[in-house]
A and B are shown apart, each in its own frame.
Chain A
Amino acid sequence: QQQVKQSPQSLIVQKGGISIINCAYENTAFDYFPWYQQFPGKGPALLIAIRPDVSEKKEGRFTISFNKSAKQFSLHIMDSQPGDSATYFCAASNSNYQLIWGAGTKLIIKP
């Protein structure tokens, strides 16, 4: 119930294409869903986040789509660039002040 399942584990996208990463959860008490971006040897940094009262949030080329009934949310990166190559983590917040993390997706954008 506390898990967040993330897919795919790795993803290769051509420059200019759309990158899509999916996450699913079971616990309906989760109420905060962030995406983090991590470059090698660095700590993760918040990219974009959504709450379950909205179905979509867009910030520049990054969009979160949220499907409350299906208990799924996804990250879309439009016009993917080589600089977007990183590991992306989805997460969900529970009532114990903890972020429950997905396993991560290693994204490679081919020039």
Chain B
Amino acid sequence: DGGITQSPKYLFRKEGQNVTLSCEQNLNHDAMYWYRQDPGQGLRLIYYSQIVNDFQKGDIAEGYSVSREKKESFPLTVTSAQKNPTAFYLCASSTTRRTEAFFGQGTRLTVV
């Protein structure tokens, strides 16, 4: 089935560690996005990519990094520079801004 797969579903990180969240899509979408969602909050854009080997910072990119080496994959690294990383992370993809954005099931990251 076509869709977006995020893994892992739950992730625990010690302070000072970098962690990488996986996002894979088989929808043949050009654009991919990473959002952060805090409890009771809306979605805040971390990074987005419209084409392979290119990506742009969103509103809250500090402390995060991404890569887009393949059309299907857009991993997000939460670095130790991110001061408050505990959140629900959502990956999405779309063909263009005028069409539906499809979301993965999310990764809940907790710093312990």
Contact = CB atoms under 8 A, between A and B. Distances in A.
A45 B98 CA distance: 15
A42 B97 contact: no
B84 to A, nearest CB: 18
B97 A45 contact: no
Nearest to A2: B59
B52 interface: no
A34 B45 CA distance: 16
A89 B98 contact: no
Interface string A70-111: 000000000000000000010001100111011110100000
Interface of B: 4, 31, 40-45, 48, 50, 58, 90, 92, 96-98, 100-101, 103-106, 108
A97 B100 contact: no
Contacts of B90: 43-44
Interface residues of A, number: 22
B103 A45 contact: yes
Nearest to B50: A97
B48 A89 contact: no
B51 to A, nearest CB: 11
Interface in A4-20: 6
A54 interface: no
20 contacts: A31-B98, A32-B97, A32-B98, A34-B100, A42-B106, A43-B4, A43-B92, A43-B103, A44-B43, A44-B103, A45-B103, A49-B100, A89-B42, A94-B97, A97-B31, A97-B48, A98-B97, A101-B44, A103-B41, A104-B40
A60 interface: no
A43 B102 CA distance: 9
Given A42-B106, A43-B90, A101 B43 contact: yes
Contacts of A44: 43, 90, 103
